[in-house]
Each structure stands twice: as C-alpha cells, then as structure tokens.
C-alpha cells in the first residue's frame, strides 16, 4: 500500500486533493496539506453529504472520505498537488449510495464468481469558448469534420499536453483525433480493470477540463452541447477475464463473431437490462437529445435508438468489433464513471447467472433499415422514461443495491421534476395563440 506521506516527501507534493464522486457524477474534494495527510488517511476528510448529490439531509452526521492510497495521482500539470480517490464512510459503515462503493461491491461480486471485468472508455469532449456557447475554433466548420487534420493541429497544444500526461501516468495512451462534430475530440488509452478505468475516467475528465482552462478554453462532456451536431458518446469496450487476468473468458470458443458462450450470456444481460441501464448510461435530460436523435449535419448521429447488436457496424447499441470483446455504444459523456462500470457488471452478471440469450444479431444499417427490425425495444425517449424503466427492473435495482437504487431514483426524479417545472420558450411559442 502506498504511504501518502512518503509519496509526498518523495515527489515533492505539498497538497492532496481527497476526492469523491457524487450520484450526479460531480467530483468533490478537500485540499489537505501534506503535513496533515497521515491523520486524514486514518480519520478521513469530513463532508456534509447534503451539500452534494448524495440523498442525505442536513441533519445527517458527517460523511468521511477515506483516501484510497493506491489511486493517488500527482497532477502532471500541477506537480505540487496529488489527487486521491476515496471511500465514503458514515458512522463506521460504507455509504451505500456512494458511487465508488457501489462499483467496489460489484467488482467484489464478480471476483467471488472468479471473474474480472476489464473495460476501456472513449470519453468524447468538445473544446468551447469559456462561456460554453461557441466552438473554440472559429475555423472548425466542415460539414464532415471527423478526423479533420487541420482542425486537430489547431488544437495540438491542448491535445498533446493531455496525451503527454497520460503517457507520463502510464495509461497506455495510443491515439487522439478530431471527432464527428465541429469542436469535438477523442483521446484513447488502454483498457484495464473496471475500477482502474473508472478512476482514470474520473481523473481524465478533471485533467481535460483543467488543461482546457489553462489554454483559455472550456471542455465539456455534455451529451449534446450543440444542436444539430453529433453528441459526446462514452462508448465502453468490455471483456471478462479470469482472476489472474491471463485468460479472456469472452474469447475462448467461437460460436459467433469470436464471442464465447459466456460472452454471449454477459451480452444477453446487457440486452435484457438496456432500457433500465439507460438511467445510468444516459443520466441527464440532455442525454436524450443524443440517442433517438434526428440525423446530424455530418450525416449520422453514431448513437443508437434501439436495443440491437451486430458485428463490426457502428449503427447499433452493441458492436462486436473483433473477437473477445464488445462495445456498448449507449453511454454518453454525462455517465458517472463509477455507475457506468457498475451497471455494466450488474447487467453482465445477471446475464451470466441466467444464461441470457442476446437474441439474433442484425447486420443492417440501423439508421436506414431500423424499421425492418421487429421486437427490438426502443431506448427510452427521455429521462423520465429511463427512470421508469429502471424502477420496473427489480433485478437490476437489487444488483445495484436496493438502498443505492432508491436514492438514485429519488435524486433523478427530483432532477426531472425541476426540468419540467422550468417554463420554456418553446411552450410559449407553441401555445400562446392556441
């Protein structure tokens, strides 16, 4: 185990940022001088849970964030500070609804069945002006801007700085590109254990936003920040291994597209629970402007509308790009990094336990020929639809944890209520003269 005080001495760290992620994916932190880190590691950093999205009241006792030393990362852009993820505890017990605790429990559950889920995420983002309303590069106007070499090079300073940091951190960064929307980028690093990926995904969002700010821009992972343009996806690639991490259990055998029988069952669980999963993978009001969306200016949304799977074809919810893994294209940039991994494991374990069948695959262009597929459930049309789908899925709620699920749905219902109580310009435009 890493001794944080020794880490600080060795690396010249003066401050630790003890961080946790709330139900809405917000990262909360206390800044702790290195001189105090030993006590904090023992006693935890105190937070009033109600002040963040955790379904607590102002009367709740203090929540303590206990640093998890092996997650420590020295900020490459501010080496006098180190970030560390934490376990949320209250009165001696782990907080049931804290997202990292939910994931920890599911990782342990998979391990008790001899399985290790390994994932990679593709967290797309836009670089905007500081006000968040315009694309930062006024010359980035192509109709098909994907892989635009010139536009990528105009943001080289930001992208290469982030890539250098990922290399320095040993994440196995391997590519970066301009994505399908004007102002949109993607950077990829290697897959790893679900918890490692979740911690890196959290840190990646923090790092991208910080580096963008340093360069005078604003980075956003918002699912659909600009009307008519392709949104921010956060595809997850998934494989399952034995506990030693030596054998990919999705890859042994080759019944269909190089997915083993267990791979098919895991996928079957994802297909079965997909509409309910959307409450986690697509957790905001804005998420539903990315899925089920009309065609974008570039020609395709690259986001799914229904619960279907296929081979190497990007118009479906699940793509099997090659043997031994599959890609879930449903999640968007608003997905909570921990709950995203947790719900993948939960749905997958359900599929393995019930030997779920993913159903037939459809090797068609879903955007052009989707209407020909019978019996494929439509993805939720809005956040309320998703919350209701989750509420109807008792099995998934139980797997995610009853207490957690109740808290999550309560907070999300409040968010929906807040949205519908907002009096919009659209209503006036469409109703005033009725």
How many CA atoms lie less than 13 Å away from 333 in the CB half-sphere? 25
H-helix segments, 155-215: 156-168, 194-214
User: Would you give the binding string for ligand ADP spanning residues 319-348, x where CB under 6 A is met?
Assistant: -----xx-x---------------------
Asked whether position 148 contacts Mg ion by CB under 5 A, the answer is: no
Task: For the CB of residue 94, give the shortest distance to ligand ADP in the complex, in Å.
Answer: 27
Q: Which is nearer to ligand ADP, 187 or 339 (CB)?
A: 187
Binding-site partner at residue 199 among ligand ADP, Mg ion, none, CB < 5 to 8 Å by type: none
Member of 104, 235, 272, 325 binding Mg ion (CB under 5 A): 235
Q: Which is nearer to Mg ion, 178 or 262 (CB)?
A: 178
Asked if residues 298 and 145 have their Cβ atoms less than 8 Å apart, the reply is yes
Asked whether position 118 contacts ligand ADP by CB under 6 A, the answer is: yes
Member of 237, 264, 316, 361 binding ligand ADP (CB under 6 A): 237
Q: CA 419, CA 431: separation in Å to the nearest integer?
A: 18
Task: For the CB of residue 348, give the shortest distance to ligand ADP in the complex, in Å.
Answer: 12
Which helix or strand (DSSP H or E) is residue 152 part of?
helix 149-154
Asked whether position 332 contacts Mg ion by CB under 5 A, the answer is: no
φ/ψ region of 233 (left if φ > 0, alpha if ψ in -120 to 50, else beta) reads beta
User: Would you give the binding string for ligand ADP spanning residues 147-186, x where CB under 6 A is met?
Assistant: ----------------------------------------
Q: Which is nearer to Mg ion, 46 or 245 (CB)?
A: 46
Task: For the CB of residue 125, give the shortest distance to Mg ion in the complex, in Å.
Answer: 10
Asked if residues 263 and 323 have their Cβ atoms less than 8 Å apart, the reply is no
Asked if residues 184 and 192 have their Cβ atoms less than 8 Å apart, the reply is no
Q: Which is nearer to ligand ADP, 254 or 403 (CB)?
A: 254
Member of 22, 186, 199, 393 binding Mg ion (CB under 5 A): 186
Which parts of this chain interact with ligand ADP (CB under 6 A)? 118-120, 122, 188, 190-191, 235, 237-239, 324-325, 327
Which parts of this chain interact with Mg ion (CB under 5 A)? 122, 186, 235
């Amino acid at each position: 185990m890493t001794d944080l005080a020794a880490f600080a001495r060795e690396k010249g760290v003066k401050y630790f940022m003890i961080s946790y992620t709330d139900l809405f994916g917000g990262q909360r932190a206390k800044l702790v001088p290195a001189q105090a880190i030993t006590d904090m590691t023992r006693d935890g950093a105190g937070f009033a849970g109600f002040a963040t999205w955790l379904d607590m009241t102002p009367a709740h006792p203090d929540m303590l964030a206990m640093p998890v030393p092996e997650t420590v990362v020295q900020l490459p852009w501010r080496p006098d500070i180190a970030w560390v993820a934490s376990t949320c505890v209250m009165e001696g017990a782990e907080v049931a609804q804290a997202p990292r605790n939910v994931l920890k429990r599911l990782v342990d559950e998979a391990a008790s069945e001899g399985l290790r889920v390994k994932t990679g995420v593709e967290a797309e983002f836009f670089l905007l002006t500081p006000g968040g309303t315009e694309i930062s590069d006024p010359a980035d106007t192509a109709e098909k801007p994907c892989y635009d070499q010139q536009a990528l090079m105009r943001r080289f300073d930001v992208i290469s700085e982030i890539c250098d940091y990922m290399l320095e951190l040993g994440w196995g960064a391997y590519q970066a590109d301009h994505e399908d929307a004007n102002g949109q980028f993607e950077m990829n690093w290697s897959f790893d254990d679900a918890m490692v990926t979740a911690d890196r995904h959290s840190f990646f969002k923090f790092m991208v936003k910080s580096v963008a700010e340093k360069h005078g821009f604003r980075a956003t992972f918002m699912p659909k920040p600009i009307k008519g343009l392709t949104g921010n996806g956060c595809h997850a690639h998934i494989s399952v291994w034995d506990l030693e991490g030596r054998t990919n259990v999705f890859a042994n055998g080759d019944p269909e597209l190089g997915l083993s029988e267990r791979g098919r069952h895991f996928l079957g669980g994802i297909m079965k629970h997909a509409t309910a999963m959307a409450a986690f993978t697509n957790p905001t009001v804005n998420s539903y402007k990315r899925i089920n969306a009309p065609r974008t200016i570039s020609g395709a949304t690259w986001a799914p509308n229904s619960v279907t799977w296929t081979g190497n074809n990007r118009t479906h919810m699940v793509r099997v790009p090659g043997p031994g893994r599959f890609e879930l294209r449903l999640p968007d940039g608003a997905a909570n990094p921990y709950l995203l991994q947790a719900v993948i494991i939960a749905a997958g374990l359900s599929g393995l336990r019930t030997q779920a069948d993913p159903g037939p695959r459809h090797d068609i262009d879903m955007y052009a020929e989707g209407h020909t597929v019978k019996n494929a459930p439509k993805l939720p049309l809005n956040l309320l639809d998703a919350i209701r789908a989750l509420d109807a899925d008792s099995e998934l709620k139980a797997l995610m944890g009853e207490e957690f699920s109740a808290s999550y749905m309560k907070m999300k219902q409040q968010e929906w209520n807040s949205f519908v109580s907002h009096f919009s310009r659209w209503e006036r435009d469409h109703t005033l003269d009725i």
